[in-house]
Chains A and B, each alone.
Chain A
Amino acid sequence: MLVLEKNNLTEEIELFASQYDFHRTALMPLLEYIQEKYHHIPDFAQQEVARVLDIHPVEVYGVISFYSFLNDQPKGRNIVRLCRTIICDMAGKCQIEQAIERELGLKFGETSKDQKITLEFTNCLGMCDQGPAMIVNDRVYTKLDPEKACAILKEIK
């Protein structure tokens, strides 16, 4: 990271944490904020968060590693998560998977070269009655079939 970017990030973190009086309860909202804006939480940001909230960096790292929606490594701007749990699997997850992989030329677990899309599996989304389901960024799509899935991905592409 450039020094300028680092300074900006520090300022942002301090500003955000000041709303919470620099209490450690600001940790989750702060991490979500950084994740949303930068699509990952770099180690520099983790240490700044720890410094501002007066906790240890390893505790911040522990929290990030606990939540699937927080990442410490860079990912794409859009994250597509396809449910892999048994109900969706039986409802035809595999066809969706193959269709998406063909459409994007990308395997699950990978990020496109232009950092646009990351494909991932997820565990149950609670949409078992409407499977197969996937979640693109914050939006859930249900009752997928290959055409519908490809159409959704085209929109974000």
Chain B
Amino acid sequence: MKHLKTSRAPISQKAYVPSAPENVDTIGGTVTVQINSKTMTVPFGTTILEACRMSDIYIPTLCAHEDLGIGGHCRLCLVDVEGMRTLQASCAFPITAPLKVKTSTIAVRKARKHIMELLLSEHVGECYACVKNGNCELQDLAKEMGVDSYMFGHDNVSKYPVDRSSYSVIRDMDKCVNCRRCVRTCIDLQEVGCLEAIGRGAETHIDTFMAKPLAEVVCINCGQCINRCPTGALYANDPSDEIWRAIEDPTKHVVIQTAPSPRAAIGEEFGLEPGISLTKELNTAIKRIGFDKVFDTNFTADLTIMEEGTELLTRIKKAVVDGDESVKLPQFTSCSPGWVKYIEHFYPEYLDHLSSAKSPQQMFGTIIKTFYAEQAGIDPKDIVSVALMPCSAKKFECNRPEMDASGYKDVDYGLTAREMAMMIKEAGMKLPSLPKSDFDNPFGLGSGAGLIFGATGGVMEAALRTVYELVTGREVPFEKLRIEAVRGFEGVKQSSVVLENVVPDWSFLEGVELKFIVAHGTANAKKVMELLKAGELYDVHFIEIMACPGGCLGGGGQPVPTNEKIRKARAKAIYAEEETLPVRKSHENSHVAEFYAKFIPEGPCSHKSHELLHTHYTKRGKFIL
């Protein structure tokens, strides 16, 4: 599909990386380079760092990150290039001519160690009391470099106040080492643009517009900066103290819902390889911690599909049959709170396109304090509802003032996978070795369609399975229900499915080509929105957007580190777990049907469902007061 030019910097301001010829066999397509004593041939334009990684030569890096552009800020990856007067940063040195590189001369080692010591001289490091203790790249590198004293001193006096204004992201700039990963994440990867390097020289620091608190600028709370921060300067707002207190309180009934993505990733916090799902072990751990009930967010993901799918069909019907001009198509998904805040800030004029259905987390919050409280005979004011999410924006979402359909705060605390792992560790458990146990009823059954919400394209796949079957009476025509067109990590995916031989109720949809787009990461969302603005998406019906690269499994509350390989492993785990489930379509979930029969007999998108399961949005705009 056509992409608009949205790159922020002109080529002249980017690090010069010559593009390698497509065919490396052409003359000049490859360059021979000698690294230490090893001679190798690499494609023209490969950086020294990449070449070293190809041949398993280790070079320490701090500011380099697979997901981000070249920085060249930290200078830890210095190497000795023959013929150059000074040491060169290998991450920003493209090989365009035969070179001789030495990666471990005494000058290189000494320079790296001094750079490390200089970084530490400005890092207010109180490692024991730091959220990143044990999982800190700066700490690891200091050990690797053999730092045994603070040659240039060590700062222990706080220079910046901690910014706790945001519900989601806390900024402690004392710990910042100016690697600018967050800046590149915020501006280049996510195109949100609320963090930038401010000042010059020794006074450079990372800050927001006019040094305002994070809650007052256009931060969408996606937390991608947290996932990429190599120190403890950025971290999520941790509610675990309050949760522990609620668990200790005998008058409180503490309920938790767990989303699919953290279950596929939490093992990484316990030293497992990425891509091992610990759903049932996690249930045991949660019960042993002292939660009264553990529910599966997949249940409300199925509800979301029922509501959002019905809403989509209603919109299409209104537009096609009634010829209603005011109906807004395409419809956007509203599951990702980061995306919701993004569109509220940057494209408020398109808010009507957003599905009014709440996200699965908020639906569950409402149901727990209404339906479940009624069924279990518990006063909703005594229920403390916790949500285990892969997401930092969910912390903001549950604090939205309109999220009180039950009469109380629907979800009390959003908990990230990292914080859950911390709670399990505090309770003295080793998660991977725990026995398995199931979710609690009455919401014990979640379909596979709900499970794949965790990966980009998952909501679309789940919706298609249901919508297609509702309209045609047949399963989606794909092997094992795998809709490959919406799977995978391409930034923007566009596809369509033709509805043929439809059931009589939906006869107006006969022969209609249902067009849909899937995008992940708000930079890709911006591309889609610009296309929509340009009027090119007039015939698209449904667009799924997730704020984080890779969807929820790459969310801002997931274990650190993250890169494409890890995200792919998590996606594989989610899709593999999905195929083992007995029910794989939202509308076939018997518990959902039971819920509707008992609680909302009028069905999806009825008046009561609108009261409880739908929400409205705020036009925020991007102007910062």
Contacts and interface: CB of A to CB of B under 8 A. Distances in A.
Contacts of A55: 8, 193
Interface string B1-37: 0000000111000000000000000000000000000
Nearest to A67: B200
B200 A47 contact: no
A76 to B, nearest CB: 21
Nearest to B6: A54
Main SS class of interface, B = loop
Contacts of B210: 43, 46, 61, 72
Interface of A: 24-25, 43, 46-47, 55-59, 61-62, 65-67, 72
Contacts of B208: 58
12 contacts: A24-B10, A43-B624, A55-B193, A56-B194, A58-B193, A58-B208, A59-B8, A59-B187, A59-B193, A61-B209, A62-B196, A72-B210
A58 B10 contact: no
A3 to B, nearest CB: 14
A65 B187 contact: no
A55 B192 CA distance: 10
B200 A58 contact: no
Contacts of B199: 65-66
Contact of A58 (B9, B195, B623): B195
Given A58-B217, A62-B198, 12 more contacts: A24-B10, A43-B209, A46-B209, A47-B624, A56-B187, A56-B194, A57-B193, A61-B196, A61-B209, A62-B197, A65-B198, A65-B199
Nearest to B8: A55
Contacts of B196: 56, 58-59, 61-62
A61 B198 contact: yes
A57 B624 contact: yes
Interface string B110-145: 000000000000000000000000000000000000
Contacts of A61: 196, 198, 209-210
Of B9, B198, B207, chain A has the most CB atoms within 10 Å of the CB of B198
Contacts of A58: 193-196, 207-209, 217
A155 to B, nearest CB: 32
A46 B261 CA distance: 40
Contacts of A72: 210
A43 to B, nearest CB: 5
A62 B193 CA distance: 11
A5 to B, nearest CB: 16
Nearest to B187: A56
Contact of A25 (B10, B207, B623): B10
Given A55-B8, A58-B208, A47 B623 contact: yes
